[in-house]
Amino acid sequence: MNTNSNTYTIIYASVMVVIVAFLLAFVSSALKSKQDKNIELDTKKQILSALNVRDIKDADAEYNKIIKADMLLNQDGSLSENAQGFTTAFEKEAKENNRLHVFVADVNGEKKYVVPVYGAGLWGAIWGYVALNADKNTIYGTYFSHASETPGLGAEIATDHFQSEFKDKKVMNNDKVALSVVKNGHVTDAAHEVDGISGGTITSNGVDAMLKACLESYNSFLTKNEEE
Amino acid sequence: MAELFSKKNKEVFLAPLGLNNPVTVQVLGICSALAVTSKLEPAIVMGLSVTIITAFSNLVISLIRKSVPNRIRIIVQLVVVAALVTIVSEILKAYAYDVSVQLSVYVGLIITNCILMGRLEAFAMQNGPWESFLDGVGNGLGYAKILVIVAFFRELLGSGTLLGFNILNYEWIKNLGYLNNGLMLMPPMALIICACIIWYQRAHHKELQEN
């Protein structure tokens, strides 16, 4: 057979592509549930990281112990139980279904709230979780991560050093989100501002915009005084 | 059986581990060697992934080498490699999620690893399936060997740990004036360690030196 003829080449390429496509589709669907489980576990780990619970072995058990409820925000700022099970796509939930999640946690007997935040850095997505004290204003801890920021510059937002800067900062000022990330060394309002990363300006600005946009959507919850 | 492990086949398997190492002698696949070697664990996983992919892509290409139309052979090779890489990456995401996060894009970038295309073009297209498989395993392990050596030094001297276990981070060692060298975690140090390995190898094997 002439393996150099045009017909042969085209048929060969087509058959090969179809076989490979089936193979990959099969592998992908066979491993899907296992992968989703991993992503879910990873999300739980990230939520716990925001509560300064890090380096844990069994994230599932720890999560069930610490996180008391996965709540959704109502229009008037009150919370109601999320009945649809754990999700990892917080951005999609917020934008498409208008479902804003708040996790209620209990750390050593103190009530904490964790809200997911998401935005864009320089090269790709950035996301994180902000844990607040029971006053819904003071930050207890944060966790940030990124898809593809520059190592050593923007990627520094994923370090403990950057995340710990947020501790004890206040989110709100006059019923508006005042928490910001400013140029390194230009903090004027120590209660609300955090030093950005030098050399990672666009990523720092991304974190700033992400915090403002996402926390602002929780405004009704954050400004509501709870009578319990 | 004796034929399967003939002298020639042994040579095919062992040469890439020693005097024909893909990283230190042929200087291929350097970029991933720099990127994934700041810790030992991802380096081992990366080494194994590349070994599996070179071995099986060599095997597949060798099996179909006589039917591959000459004009699209590079495309066929790429499709085989890409399919295998995707499968490995999916498996890592399912069974070794943490490592797959650390390796991030570099698993996908195995597709462009020069060792793979080099072996397919230079070896699997001309040789039988078994020899090609051995050649793939050999080259993969040759690559893995260098990655592990580099990662060993970088993690030990940079973080004071090995595979995450504490080796050097004790008070009394700090009191002696020893500090972890953060520079070891930066990519340039991987290049320098790689260069040291090449230096050592060439100093010991005169036949590698040019006149």
Q: Among A3, A17, A31, select the one facing B69 at the smallest CB separation.
A: A3
Distance (Å, rounded) from C-alpha B33 to C-alpha B115?
12
**Interchain contact, B79 vs A20, CB within 8 Å:** yes
- pLDDT, average across residues B173-202: 85
What confidence tens digit (pLDDT) does each residue in A156-202 have? 898 888 998 998 899 888 888 889 999 888 888 888 999 998 888 89
Q: Which residues in chain A have their CB less than 8 angstroms from residue B95's CB?
A: 34
Q: Give percent of chain A above pLDDT 70.
A: 98
Q: Which residue from A74, A90, A69, A98 is spatially nearest to A220, judged by alpha carbons?
A: A74
Range with lowest mean pLDDT among A13-22, A154-163, B47-56, B181-190:
B181-190
CB A218 within 8 A of CB A100: yes
Instruction: Indicate whether B1 pLDDT > 80.
Output: no
- pLDDT, average across residues A213-225: 85
Q: Which residues in chain A have their CB less than 8 angstroms from residue B80's CB?
A: 20
How does strand A193-195 pair with strand A180-182?
A: parallel
State the DSSP H helix or E strand holding residue A182, giving kind and residue range, or none if neither: strand A180-182
**Interchain contact, B71 vs A8, CB within 8 Å:** no
Q: Which residue from B161, B159, B172, B42 is spatially nearest to B110, judged by alpha carbons?
A: B42
Residue A60 has what pLDDT?
83
What confidence tens digit (pLDDT) does each residue in A61-95 have? 888 888 888 888 887 778 888 877 788 888 888 88
How does strand A125-132 pair with strand B161-162?
A: unpaired
**Interchain contact, B87 vs A20, CB within 8 Å:** no
Q: Which residues in chain A have their CB less than 8 angstroms from residue B104's CB?
A: 148
Q: Among A13, A38, A148, select the one facing B72 at the smallest CB separation.
A: A13
Complex ipTM: 0.75
Distance (Å, rounded) from C-alpha A45 to C-alpha A185?
32
Distance (Å, rounded) from C-alpha A160 to C-alpha B117?
41
* CB contact B167 to A (< 8 Å): no
Distance (Å, rounded) from C-alpha A208 to C-alpha A179?
8
Residue B26 has what pLDDT?
81
pLDDT bin (cut points 50, 70, 90) of residue A226 is low
Distance (Å, rounded) from C-alpha B106 to C-alpha B101?
10
Distance (Å, rounded) from C-alpha A94 to C-alpha B71?
51
The residue among B56, B86, B88 with the most chain A CBs within 10 A of its CB, best to mutate, is: B86
